[in-house]
Structure 1
Amino acid sequence: MLNKIKWVVILLGGAAGVLWVVNLPYPMIRWPVAKTVPILLLPSYINMDHNYREAIHNLEQADQLINQSTSPADIERGGEKVKAAKRNLDNLPVWFLGYYPQTYCNLFGCTWKFTVDEFETARQRVGRIEAIVFQDKNALVPLSQAEQTLQAAKQQYQQATNTQDREKALAIWQEGIDQLEQIPQQTLAAKTAKAKLNAYKRDFENARVGNFITAAQEFDLAAEQAKQTQPKAASELWQQAINRINQVPLENPRYLEAQKLLVSYQSKIQGIVDPRSSKLIDGAKQFALAAAKLAQKPPHTETKWKQIAKLWSTAIEQLQTVQLEDPGYLEAQKLLATYQTNLGIVETRLQAEIDSQLSLKEANENIQRLIATPASEQQQLRSQIQGIINQLNTVQPGTTAYAEAQTLISQAKNRLQQ
């Protein structure tokens, strides 16, 4: 009995050994077997079929995960899939790929016809995806570093207590933004960085402008403290404040605030350098401001236009007293040109108001005469009405008489149509 079992084991072991040998990936062994006893190659065919299907499946998943990645986990999973696809391709006997295993496929209905060219294409695809995975993983490192730099810079900026510390934080902040912009554009990290970059830049610009204004205010405070005993130092401090304010860009929401501070600092520095002309210029500005406020929401009466003209004239007289040798002379001349232009506009509006009121008055007098003694002939009456219309048309838009004149014109035209 033991001998029989022994012989069975020997026979089974021998058969398994033979099966193992004929399925070795050596053409000199497999070709003769494939021609004579192809059924012995069944394990190879099963293995080929399995690895082919797995290679295609894993490659498709890897491609989807990498090219449509939304997180680092997708890249990691895609890398695992491409490694699995590579192992599947390594298990395919390349020398046999161009031949169709008819016996196996007749028995099991396989549908694949994997050629050498297809194999090489798959290999190249694996290589490309591996390269993408490598780039994506590498790009995640500078992304993480840049975000850490930005967070640290923002925290440092918020904790800064003086201009120097804020400027150091801003320099680090800019460095973080530069790191984000240098990430390779084809990677997931670049897509992630792009989505956040606008917000980082907006916050940086707001912080930068905020620092300009805060620094200017600090210089202003120091100048106020020094102006009595060290006027020259105070003047230099205000100039530093002006230099900071001048860096606020026009498109920034805080530009108007910065310009108001700029005017204030310029007045203060002018007050130290040239107290006399500074006072004259400041006084002229006050008269100009009063004139501008009074001129709002026209039309105005003759009396009001005269008040406005008087204010502009007073402002001009103030500026004209600034002497050529005064440090504020150039600023005074610039303002003088503007104020004289404004006065000319006011005088034009004043004359238009006077002329329009006169035309309206005369037209009303003619209307009253026509009512009192109407013409006996229709043609004469129409001629008189047309004359009144022509006179009313001389009343200019933008005057207090214009609305009444337009009403009278409408009534006169209706009378002509009767």
Structure 2
Amino acid sequence: MYRLNKKAWKLLLAEVQKCSGNDQLSQMEQEIVIKRLEKLRTEKGSPVGLDELSETVLDIYPQFSEKVLKKATKANQAPGLITKIKWATIILGTSVGVIWVVNLPYPMIRWPIAKTVPILLLPSYISMDHNYRGAIHNLEQADQLINKATSPADIERGGEKIKTAKRNLDNLPVWFLGYYPQAYCNLFGCTWRFTVDEFETARQRVGRIEAIVFQDKNALVPLTQGEQTLKAAKQQYEQATNTQDREKAIASWQEGIDQLEQIPQQTLAAKTATAKLNAYKRDFENARIGNFITAAQEFDLAAEQAKSIQPKAASELWQQAINRINQVPLENPRYVEAQKLLVSYQSKIQGVVDPRSSKLIEGAKQFALAAAKSAQNPPHTEMKWKQIAKLWSTAIEQLQSIRVEDPGYLEAQKLLATYQTNLGILETRLQAEIESQSSLKQANEQIQRLIAAPPSEQQQFQAQIQGIINQLNTVQSGTTAYAEAQILISQAKKRLQQ
């Protein structure tokens, strides 16, 4: 570092020329001072201070400006820390500005730089690599969270991931598609190698997942509303004290189930709802059937209280009870209980409206019930079938005695049609039993004759056995003779094969 820098030298030189005259002596003085200053300019060492500068010029130019000396001394000082920082900041800022400009996402800027000074695009390469990795990573996570979601939290998290992936794709400049910076990638190992088609596919995938997120979030609304409706309806049903309140609760219950069933099937909400719907429907059905039976019992209680003074009103109440009971489906576990109540209410309503026909109908039902029980576990003997037929006939006779003008006539006719059909079926089975027993008896007689007097010729012997088999084949299944006939047929066939 020279002791006198250029800036200080120029200040001092200007003042020397100002102090110097035009005569020969003045010129000589000027040359002496200038030589002294030139010597300081060529010497290396610490910067010249104010005192040394004063000694250099004041002995020749006493009038030399002290202000210039101080200014030159200041200019001659080595730059301080703040100055260095300032210049470093200026240089750094300028460099950053240049790099920022060349890394702007404009092909007209980047392409020439990429071809000539690709190192200046290092921030772009780092950003591209980062955003490419981020796009792939976040897209895969979003896909997993959305398409295999198990809770609303997965949908929410997947939505955040797809937004991040979209930002990553937005930050990938279109000009880089298919571009591969060889030097940078050899050094840092780039992971991107997008083509235009792949980029568009990723964009479409983002759009599809965004749509799924939107649909799933929307579907969560009816799911929440439906579950809240069901919860409120169930609570309302449990707190209900009469049929009207229970029916209102059941209507709300059905509304909640309808809301869940209307959720789009491809959404997480629909899968969640489907998993719960069976339980909801089971509880709803139990509540609905329970309400039918409870309401019928309430109508029955009210009818019992009214029958002595208002028989017509009591009859209407029992009819209401019957209407409720008739809504209990056959497959419901409480169907048998409901049918018992139904029989009771029908009997009561008949007792109020038409005591005579109701008693005849009730008697016919008892005979029919006895006949049905006796007919269980067939086959039966001819004697038992006749006994059962007699029970059905008695029930039919009871119903036939009800007059056309009797209020119970219509019900009696319905039962009569059923009982006559049952009697017809029974008579068919009775006839089958009689014929089968006759065929078995004839076959046994043929067997006895064959044993007593077997023919001498084998062909004739086999013909008689075949005749016995044919006779046994006329024994019908479902008869008491059928099992024995099958045994005899088996034995006869074995004898034919000997």
Contact 1:245 1:259 in 2 (8 A): yes
Pair 218,45 (structure 1): closer, same or farther in 2 beyond 3 Å = same
Q: Map 1:259-408; keep pairs closer than 5 Å.
A: 259-347=339-427, 378=456, 389=468, 393=472
Q: Which residue pairs with 1:14 in the alignment?
A: 90
Tell me what 2:216 maps to.
136
2:217 aligned with 1:156: no
Cα distance, 1:411 vs structure 2: 7.3
The separation in 2 between residues aligned to 1:69 and 1:137, in whole angstroms, is 12
Equivalent residue number for residue 248 of structure 2:
168
Residues 40 and 255 of structure 1: CA distance in aligned 2, closer, same or farther (over 3 Å):
same
Task: Measure, in 2, the Cα distance between the counterparts of 1:124 and 1:370.
Answer: 92
Distance 1:386 1:98 in 2: 95
Matched, 1:254 2:330: no
Match of 1:203 among 280, 283, 294: 283
Q: Percent sequence identity over matched residues?
A: 81
Q: State the one-letter code of the partner of 2:152.
A: P
CA deviation after TM superposition for structure 1 residue 308, in Å: 2.7
CA-CA distance at 1:236 after TM superposition:
0.6
For 1:67, the equivalent position in structure 2 comes to 147
Q: Which residue of 2 aligns with 1:145?
A: 225
Residue 60 of structure 1: CA displacement?
A: 2.0
Return the offset for 1:196: 1.7
Q: Distance in 1 between matches of 2:182 and 2:436?
A: 109
Instruction: Give the AA of the match of 2:326.
Output: N
Of the three residues 303, 321, 324, the one matched with 1:241 is 321
- For 1:163 and 1:90, how far apart are their aligned partners in 2? 63
Q: For residue 11 of structure 2, what is the aligned residue in structure 1?
A: none
- 1:139–1:184 CA contact under 8 A, matched in 2: yes
Whole-Å separation in 1 of the counterparts to 2:177 and 2:455? 117
Tell me how far apart the structure 1 counterparts of residues 205 and 355 of structure 2 sit (CA, whole Å). 80
| Distance in 2 of aligned mates of 1:79 and 1:338 | 66
After superposition, the Cα gap between the structure-2 partners of 1:16 and 1:282, relative to the gap in structure 1 and judged at 3 Å, is same
Does the Cα contact within 8 Å between 2:469 and 2:492 map onto a contact in 1? no
Is 2:129 the counterpart of 1:49?
A: yes
Say which of 129, 148, 161 aligns to 1:81: 161
Segment of structure 1 superposing worse, 292-301 or 76-85: 292-301
Name the structure 2 match of 1:3: 79
Q: Does 1:213 align with 2:293?
A: yes
Out of 221, 225, 229, the residue aligned to residue 305 of structure 2 is 225
Consecutive unaligned residues of structure 1, counting only runs of 5 or more, are none
Q: Distance in 2 between matches of 1:415 and 1:31?
A: 105
User: C-alpha displacement at 1:329, in angstroms?
Assistant: 1.9
Give how far 1:290 is off: 1.8
CA distance, structure 2, for counterparts of residue 100 and residue 211 of structure 1: 75
Q: Distance in 2 between matches of 1:116 and 1:361?
A: 94
Q: Cα offset for 1:276?
A: 1.0
Q: Which residue identity does 1:40 align to in structure 2?
A: L
Task: Tell me the number of residue pairs that the alignment of Structure 1 and Structure 2 aligns.
Answer: 416
State the AA in 1 paired with 2:274.
K
After superposition, the Cα gap between the structure-2 partners of 1:390 and 1:236, relative to the gap in structure 1 and judged at 3 Å, is same
Pair 11,107 (structure 1): closer, same or farther in 2 beyond 3 Å:
farther
Supply the distance in 2 between the matched residues of 1:133 and 1:195 (Cα, whole angstroms). Answer: 21
Distance 2:189 2:466 in 1: 108
Larger radius of gyration: 2
Structure 1 pair 363/161, CA: closer, same or farther in 2 (3 Å)?
Answer: same
The Cα of 1:11 is off from its aligned counterpart by: 4.4
Q: Deviations over 1:366-392 (max 9, x none)?
A: 988998xx559747x969987995897
TM-score (norm. length: structure 2)? 0.70
Is the partner of 1:3 in helix, strand or coil? coil
1:184 is displaced (CA, Å) by 3.3
User: 1:370 and 1:102 mapped to 2: Cα distance?
Assistant: 109
Task: Give the RMSD, CA atoms, in angstroms.
Answer: 3.9
Q: Which stretch shows the higher mean deviation, 9-18 or 357-366?
A: 357-366
CA distance change for structure 1 residues 112 and 274 in 2, over 3 Å: closer, same or farther?
same
Kept after mapping to 2: 8 A contact 1:392/1:409: no
Which residue identity does 2:226 align to in structure 1? A
Structure 1 residues 396 and 11, CA gap change in structure 2 (3 angstroms): closer
Q: 1:366 to 1:39 in 2, by over 3 A?
A: closer
Change (3 A) 1:223 1:384: same
1:127, CA displacement in angstroms?
4.0
Q: State the Cα deviation string for residues 10-62 of structure 1 (Å, max 9, x = none).
A: 44323322332222216466555444433233223222222222222222222
Relative contact order, CA 8 A, sep 6+: which one is greater?
1
Is 160-169 or 285-294 further displaced after alignment? 285-294
1:138 Cα deviation (Å)? 3.2
Q: Compared with structure 1, are the counterparts of its residues 17 and 92 closer, same or farther at alpha carbon in structure 2 (3 Å cutoff)?
A: farther
Could you tell me the TM-score, scaled by structure 1's length? 0.82
Cα distance in 2, alignment partners of residues 284 and 183 from structure 1: 53
- Contact 1:23–1:44, Cα closer than 8 Å, also in 2: no
Q: Which residue of 2 aligns with 1:23?
A: 99
Counterpart of 2:407, as a letter, is P
Task: Assess, with a 3 A threshold, how the Cα gap between structure 1 residues 22 and 339 changes in structure 2: closer, same or farther.
Answer: same
